Structure 1
Amino acid sequence: MDKKRLQMLVSAVNKKALDLPGIMNIESDAIIVDQLIGDAGKEFESELSDQEEIIKGNTIRIFRRCEKGVGLSRNTGLFNAESEIIQFADDDIIYDDGYSQRILEEFDAHPEADILLFNVKAQAGRETYWNKDYARISWMNYGRYPAYAICARREKLIQAGVKYSLLFGGGAPYMNGEDSLFLHDCLKAGLSIYRTTAVLGHEQQNESTWFKGYTEKFFFDRGVLYHFLYGKMAFVWGFRFLLKNRAEMCSEYGLFKSYRILLSGVRHGRTIKTQ
């Protein structure tokens, strides 16, 4: 099986990029976008030039940038990708031996799928999904998947003109939600998305780069996101989200104050021009 058909797109922050193929157990060609941010990034400022290396027979291209924003990072990887199948990745994922073959086998077995969502074991307390069957993803269940679950036929994404939003996620103006919005836009563009039970690897233990508790910013940013995801139904889905999670999320502000903050985010989202 030709592993050159697959290219991993790694979003990294303040990392020694040449160490990542070994740490992550990368088995395919890869593009690593390493964003150098803040004081920690100054250590690597002398290494700003782009780089290409052959590591264990795989072509590893490194783009170092003094910029921030995970959407920007993922778009840089996507726009520079060349392979038939692309795999989104984060720098804290450790991949199992043979994962690359499993990806290609799944795409070959399912020509109906433009995008496949794979299992990657999240660290305890951050689990949002685990696929137990092969099934089509719809408007009812697309919102649970992180970027590192997503593999896609590159040409289908390019033809559809889908890219990551620069508004949401680490380093962006608003908190997480960029992956849900990306899959939302894929569905809107008519791409077929399926989930699969194949397992690729696991997430290392680390601290979230964006979650700082259920603060006012958390609820406000969630409202902004829901405007882009649900439009006129954002008020309804926002209340449903808080009601379902009120014991965990609303202990400090209460359900109705949390909802009022979310609504202010929805209204603010209406004033933002799409990118």
Structure 2
Amino acid sequence: MRLEILLSCMNLQDEDIITKSHIESDTIIVNQCGYDGYNEYDRNGHKTRIFSVNDKGLTKSRNYAIKHSEADVCLLCDDDEVFSRNYEEGILTAYRDLPEADVIIFNIGNRPAHWGDMPKKLGYLDLMHVASWQISFKRESIVNNNVYFDEHMGAGSGNGAEEEFRFLTDCRKNGLAIYYVPFVIADVAQTKSTWFKGYNEEFFINRGNTTRYIMGYVPAVLYAAYYSIRKRHQFDSDISWFKAFRLIMKGIHENRLGKKK
């Protein structure tokens, strides 16, 4: 099997991001920079392909990389990761050990998952806690089932995040097997987010819109209650839990993305 990292970035200035990120495998870089172009080079036997595109939107970038990948296994990546030693060997070993897995969620060293120290198959509720940096998949499984990132969501869409949850729930709906393997692949700095501007009213309204779009009305309302109460420690210095709940409900009823049920 062959692994390829799918790295999304904007206005890339320094192509040495491969060295800075400790990447030691084949890589696609999709650089959203306002013009179209292509560059390719080899480093230590690994191919790096840079696609410069005149487009915006993180999910569009992810989909572009998936469609242009030539690998058996893909790993999503942002421009603020530093990879662990032997990450490629660990990832490919996990797929050999779990041949039934279509998607494998890995661990991030400075943001560890809470699923323990043994591999496990993930259920619907587990998927709500997965970040993009953790997601790998067999490209053939994704392409053959026509599962891509929803371009109505994600950074640059104006509709907030949760595109990873939508992607994984679409994988699940198509019968793809999603596993967690407690192998640490990287650390994430995430010093500056391209979409998160704080726990303001827009954040909670967008969350209401996206959760209804993904889940439907009734589960989204239950989620609004859960999130506003159980996660209030994350935002209660900015906004009360009750106001957060009301704003999420406003987004649910606004239904900007069009999920009707």
Question: Is the pair's TM-score, using the shorter chain for normalization, greater than 0.5?
Answer: yes
Contact 1:119/1:130 (<8 A) preserved: no
Contact 1:131/1:196 (<8 A) preserved: no
Unmatched segments (≥5 aa) in structure 1:
38-44
Which whole-Å deviations, capped at 9, do the CAs of 1:92-128 have from their partners, x for residues lacking one? 1111221101111110011111110011224xxxx47
Q: Distance between the aligned counterparts of 2:70 and 2:100, measured in 1? A: 21
Unmatched segments (≥5 aa) in structure 2:
none
Aligned to 1:95: 83
Q: Does 1:221 align with 2:218?
A: no
Contact 2:75/2:136 (<8 A) preserved: yes
Say which of 241, 244, 251 aligns to 1:258: 244
Q: Distance between the aligned counterparts of 2:225 and 2:151, measured in 1? A: 26
- Cα distance, 1:251 vs. partner? 4.7
Q: Distance between the aligned counterparts of 2:109 and 2:235, measured in 1? A: 24
What is the RMSD of the two structures over their aligned residues, measured on CA atoms? 2.0
When the two structures are superposed, what TM-score results if normalisation uses the length of structure 1?
0.87
Deviates more, 1:251-260 or 1:94-103: 251-260
Q: Distance between the aligned counterparts of 2:185 and 2:194, measured in 1? A: 23
Aligned to 1:138: 123
Q: Secondary structure at the match of 1:161?
A: coil
- Say how many residue pairs are matched: 258
Say which of 129, 142, 158 aligns to 2:113: 129
Say which of 61, 65, 81 aligns to 1:77: 65
Contact 1:135/1:196 (<8 A) preserved: yes
The structure that is helix-richer by fraction is 1
When the two structures are superposed, what TM-score results if normalisation uses the length of structure 2?
0.92
What does 1:230-245 align with in structure 2 at a 5 Å threshold?
Answer: 230-232=215-217, 233-245=219-231
Contact 2:216/2:259 (<8 A) preserved: no
- Cα distance, 1:229 vs. partner? 2.5
Which whole-Å deviations, capped at 9, do the CAs of 1:233-270 have from their partners, x for residues lacking one? 21111111111123432454433332222112112236
**Distance change >3 Å, CA 205–CA 162, structure 1 → 2:** closer
Amino-acid identity (%): 30
Which whole-Å deviations, capped at 9, do the CAs of 1:24-62 have from their partners, x for residues lacking one? 12211111001126xxxxxxx6xx421111121111111
Q: Distance between the aligned counterparts of 2:242 and 2:184, measured in 1? A: 40
